[in-house]
Amino acid sequence: MTQRAKSETISALAIELVFYGFIGWAYETILTSIVWGRFAERGWLHLPICPIYGFCAMALLFIFRKEKSVPKIFVFGTLLTTAAELAASYLLDFFTEERLWDYYDWKFNFDGRIALGSSLIFGVLCVLLVKLLHPAAKYVTDRMSGKALKITAAVLIGSILIDVVILLR
């Protein structure tokens, strides 16, 4: 792979990461707003992005890159995302000293950090990611010029970095 092809691939992956982070933010905001009965913007960035969704989506796409079986994607996606959510809850508690989600009112929960219902939702979302969202995102990035990929990726990642710097001030 040439240096140019590598930079374009990295740019496309960065764009997808931000796209999946936005989808995660939208999912969280819509679901929480419905559950709470009022608008509840989610995430800790000012931008409408939950980076954990972007990073987890990219990891799942790597893990499932050759998998065709929907039941396998669902089962293993459910297990992997549940483990990631549990680990993230402990890490975020440690770094932010606050609980960013709570499943105590959900049936079959563990310490309010994970719950069977949310795990099953994440399993469905894994299938949608692999079978629908990723092919659509790849379709778009495959049709972008190298220059457009690089500029778009730089603007998106730069915006997130600026947001993080502002938050950490």
Among 118, 123, 138, smallest CA distance to 73 is for 123
* pLDDT, one tens digit for every residue, the chain (169 residues): 666 588 889 999 999 999 999 999 999 899 889 988 998 888 878 999 998 899 999 999 999 999 999 999 999 999 999 999 999 899 888 887 778 788 988 899 999 999 999 999 999 999 999 999 999 999 999 999 999 999 999 999 999 999 999 988 8
Indicate the domain borders of the chain.
3-168
Where are any strands of DSSP class E within the chain? 109-110, 114-115
Global pTM reads 0.88
Q: Which two tokens stand for residue 28?
A: 């969280």
DSSP for residue 114: E
Q: What are phi and psi of 50, to 5 degrees?
A: -110, 100
